[in-house]
Amino acid sequence: MLEEVFYPAFMLFVILLIVCRAAWCGLVITEVEPNPPGNSSGDIPGDLTHEFVEVYNTGPLPVNLSECYFIFGSSGSSTVNRCDPVVWAGDSLRNVGRDSAVQYAAQIPAGAFAIMLCRGYVSAPESTWYAIASGTFIFTSKNKYFRSGGLANSGTTIQLFDSSGLLLSSFNSFLSSAMDPGESWTQHLIAPDSQDFPGNWAIAFPTPGGQFPYQGAREYGSTLVINEVMSDPLEGHPEWIELFNPGDDTVDLRGWRIGGNEEDDFLLTPDMVFVPPGHFAIITEDNETASRFFPDALCPLIEPEAWDALRRDDDIIVIRDRNNVTIDSLAYAGDWFPVSKGVSFERVLPGGATNQKDNWHQSRNVSGSTAGFANSSPEEAVSAFHFTLQNSRIRPGCGCDLSRITMHVVKPADDQLTIKIYDIRGRVVRSICDRATGTAPYLFWDGKHGNGHLMPAGLYLISVRNEGSSAVLEKYPVALLK
């Protein structure tokens, strides 16, 4: 009788122990770099040694990563390699983080990141090392590389097990041969508390030890608003509508639709197109033409499946999500303000009523619009100098938001603005403007010297001096990455 009671209770305890153990050991593979810079071009030392795997502890308790192990494979091969992570330490290993704030310990606390680097990582010049986020726990492999010949660019498979052989997390368990993020890019897990499936991975710039670029890509809340409209473009220019995300979550436009006065509405895009918080997306009748006229816009340009031409003076624009829920709609009228050819009309306050006349004005930008950038300010509001550095890292030629330093300037018309770039020795390497009165609202540095040559990787200083109604001298450190 005792056995009849004890045995089922014991088995239930074992099952619960296994389930809880998996839940407590919340390590998840969150970023994979199978195709680091140099793999194909060969111009950057490091190549295979710059492969890395990032994990994140989603559980409530610390986890000892050195008691776990990885299995690396390829969707096109039956050969697998076991790799046991060890804490990065030893006389021959330098401070790989270039920052004393990185961690060298086996226990990964709850909510912390760890990355595993190849042991050969330090054989490459320090200028090629990643900018690893402070607080990241650093591990390495016992071998020089994770896998003989390196990870497969397009078909890498990774499994993470605990010491008992319990599978904790995986990458590309669906055995796709199309998971190559492209050279110098990485695959990021969108939702760390979800599963390993194709739609839960996205390509982005490497952020080893950093927060998820697509942390809000699930539909927590769709906060896009119609932000700017070009209904009467110049000859040969396309019509377009700008969306802005004023919320806290990234929004995926896949499956969204756009409509208007007519009964039909049209699919925006069947692909994953992410609009992070504080960013823009441009919907245009002709993507190819728009890309020529908006070379500085780094936001997505989307050409829907069809385009219902905008009326010059009055029209209706409706944006719906993939569930056919209306997210925002604008009904503008001809008596709002005079319509000028080649001049857009802009939203004043993202949180203001979309269909309130006072919440819109004609663009005051010298180009006639601010597509992909913050809307122009009313002239009477520009009484003080404001400077915003939108990114402090630059990787020239990456094709992403980090391809250049972006600076936003708002200043009184008569103020004189000087912006110069200095190297760490205090030498001027580039003058962006010198005592200029008329400047565009957005200024850029592409990482090049004034003579046109690309500057070497390292730290630089942006000096901003404004003279006039607002006397300002500010300095901003920035990093040029390779």
Task: Write down the pTM of the prediction.
Answer: 0.46
Residue 383 has pLDDT above 70, yes or no: no
Report the pLDDT value the prediction gives residue 357, as an integer from 0 to 100: 84
- For 382-480, CATH number out of 3.20.20.70, 3.40.50.150, 3.90.330.10, 2.60.40.1930 equals 2.60.40.1930
Q: Do 133 and 56 contact (CB within 8 A), yes or no?
A: no
Report the pLDDT value the prediction gives residue 191, as an integer from 0 to 100: 72
Residue 37 has pLDDT above 80, yes or no: no
Helix (H) / strand (E) element for 3: namely helix 2-24
- CA-angle at 264, arms to 263 and 269, nearest 5°: 150
Report the pLDDT value the prediction gives residue 205, as an integer from 0 to 100: 78
Distance of CA 85 to the CA centre of its chain: 28
- The pLDDT-based confidence of 137 (bands split at 50, 70, 90) is very high
Report the pLDDT value the prediction gives residue 431, as an integer from 0 to 100: 94
Residue 172 has pLDDT above 80, yes or no: yes
Q: Over the stretch 356-380, which tens digit does the pLDDT of each residue have?
A: 888 888 888 777 888 888 888 654 4
Dist. CA 189–CA 27, nearest whole Å: 13
> Token match 């857009």: residue?
344
Q: What percent of the chain has pLDDT over 90?
A: 21
Dist. CA 101–CA 422, nearest whole Å: 26
Report the pLDDT value the prediction gives residue 370, as an integer from 0 to 100: 87
Residue 17 has pLDDT above 50, yes or no: no
Report the pLDDT value the prediction gives residue 213, as an integer from 0 to 100: 62
The domain 23-204: what is its CATH number? 2.60.40.1260
Where do the CATH 2.60.40.1930 domains begin and end in the chain? 382-480
- The pLDDT-based confidence of 151 (bands split at 50, 70, 90) is confident
Single-letter residue type at 394: I
For domain 225-379, the CATH architecture is Sandwich (2.60)
Among residues 243, 253, 229, 233, the alpha carbon closest in space to that of 316 is found at 229
Mean pLDDT for the chain?
79
Please tell me what DSSP assigns to residue 289: H
Average pLDDT over residues 430-436: 92
Where do the CATH 2.60.40.1260 domains begin and end in the chain? 23-204, 225-379
Dist. CA 21–CA 25, nearest whole Å: 6
